[in-house]
Amino acid sequence: MARAFTTYPLRQILNSQHALGMALRNGRASLEETQVYIGLNDATTRKQELETNHFVTTLKEVCRSFCVPFSFDIIDGGYIHDDGEYTEETSIVLTFIDVPAETIDAIAQELCTLFHQESVLITSDRVRVRSVRASLS
């Protein structure tokens, strides 16, 4: 797991996060939001072999190793396999805002391997963001 941090250029991550911070301090911005959908059923058995908390812990470790901001949700859903079999499973939806596509692909590849998945689904879209600040007196 630790190899991810050593293989991705830290400078690119820091530049991206600096741009995000500047955009939010300026009040409004249009940024890229990317979501990665990762099923928890094993690719071979098509059943969830480990507890959901195990996957959450692993996901957090991977994201931390890449030094990226992230959030996630645990959802239930269904899909159809290539062979036509319908399956329901628990999935994790991992959300990134303004993280480079290469970083997201590297994270997705690592999670795909660690979670023993055939593939993961990645969606992206431009979103308007704004920051609301509280007065902390």
Per domain, the residue ranges of the chain are 3-130
pLDDT at 68 over 90: yes
pLDDT of 12 over the 80 cut: no
Which pLDDT tens digit goes with each residue over 22-48?
Answer: 666 665 578 999 999 999 999 999 999
The pTM assigned to this predicted structure is 0.78
Interval 83-113: pLDDT, tens: 888 989 999 999 999 999 999 999 999 999 9
pLDDT class of 67 with cuts at 50, 70, 90 = very high
Q: 98, 12 in Cβ contact below 8 A?
A: no
In the chain, where does DSSP find H-type helix? 3-7, 10-25, 52-65, 101-114
Tell me the fold of 3-130: Alpha-Beta Plaits (3.30.70)
